[in-house]
Amino acid sequence: MKLIVGLGNPGDKYKLNRHNIGFLAVDYLIKEFNASKISSKFKGELYKSSDMLFLKPTTYMNLSGESVGAVKDFYKIDNEDIIVIHDDIDLAFGALKFKKGGGHGGHNGLKSIDSHIGKEYWRIRMGVGRPEKKEMVVNYVLSDFSQEELECISKHFPVIKEAVLNIQKAPSLYTKKGC
């Protein structure tokens, strides 16, 4: 069983925020894999399709680990089979990278997950770019994508679909530089 987690914040207010790129990607995967909602427990919305679970934590970003840890424990999923999709301000807008393990890079959602399950899980990092000034980061990641930006990132969703099926090959096969 694989667990694919999209990071984001719940609610319409955040739906198209840069910080919600993980939710957008998981919404795409839910449709592509014809997944059905199976639970609103585990502090998240959980969907299933054959041997894959898709999770959108409803804890807000900073507590995402509570949701991921609860699903991992209940379904007895190894970290090797967990894939977390998230925004990354250290990558150029539209860049896409895959890696296993590593640090959180200041990302509060990853910090929370690390504290609940450890660091050795797969990450799909989606570049959203960085604002000019450090003090602008919070407002930047909580701002909405433009229509052009949404079109750009949505081009990566089929690549992400392929990667979740073959994550061990993803770092060498699917890393993208941008739109």
40-87 pLDDT, tens digit each: 889 999 999 999 999 999 999 999 999 999 999 999 999 999 999 999
Percent of the chain at pLDDT > 70 equals 94
Structural domain includes residue 178: no
Structural domain includes residue 138: yes
Domain that holds residue 167: 2-173
Can you tell me the distance from the alpha carbon of 126 to that of 3, in angstroms, rounded to the nearest whole number? 18
**Domain count for the chain:** 1
What is the distance in angstroms between the CA of the first residue and the CA of the last residue of the chain?
32
The β-bridge partners of 5 are 55, 84
Here the CATH number for the domain that contains residue 57 is 3.40.50.1470
Q: Beta-carbon neighbour count of residue 51 at 10 Å?
A: 8
Q: Which of 19, 86, 107, 156 is catalytic?
A: 19
Confidence of residue 170 (pLDDT cuts 50, 70, 90): low
pTM of the predicted model, to two decimals?
A: 0.94
Q: Is 104 among the residues known to form the active site?
A: no
The β-bridge partners of 86 are 125
Give pLDDT tens digits for 27-42.
Answer: 999 999 999 999 988 9
Give pLDDT tens digits for 80-120.
Answer: 999 999 999 999 999 999 889 988 888 999 999 999 999 99
Structural domain includes residue 179: no
Give pLDDT tens digits for 134-159.
Answer: 899 999 999 999 999 999 999 999 99
CA 47 vs CA 50, 118, 127, 169: distances in Å: 10, 23, 25, 25
Structural domain includes residue 156: yes
Structural domain includes residue 100: yes
